Amino acid sequence: MENSPLFDGIQEEWEAKGEAKGREHEKMEVAIKMLQLNLEIETIIKTTGLERVQIEKLIKQQGN
């Protein structure tokens, strides 16, 4: 089964999803550090590519 084209396609899809999730997590970590440095939200958006809603959610989480 591991040598079938179907398995290869599924494996590639899982790997791509995992990599995307890892990149998103890394962006969030960078945004948290930028918030801790009191950088402006617009700067964080431009630097990380995250959306304002995501950053505002991080701000709320950091407040707890």
- pLDDT by residue (tens digit) across 39-59? 999 999 999 999 999 999 999
- As a whole number of angstroms, the distance between CA 51 and CA 39 comes to 15
What is the residue-averaged pLDDT of the chain?
A: 89
pLDDT band (50, 70, 90) for residue 34 = very high
Q: 38-54: buried (b, 16+ CB within 10 Å) or exposed (e) per residue?
A: eeebeebeeebebeeeb
| Phi, psi of 30, rounded to the nearest 5 degrees | -65, -40
- Domain spans, the chain: 5-63
User: Which amino acid makes up residue 38?
Assistant: N
pLDDT exceeds cutoff 90 at 16: no
What local confidence, expressed as pLDDT, does residue 64 receive? 61
User: The dihedral of CA 38, 42, 46, 48: what is its sign?
Assistant: positive
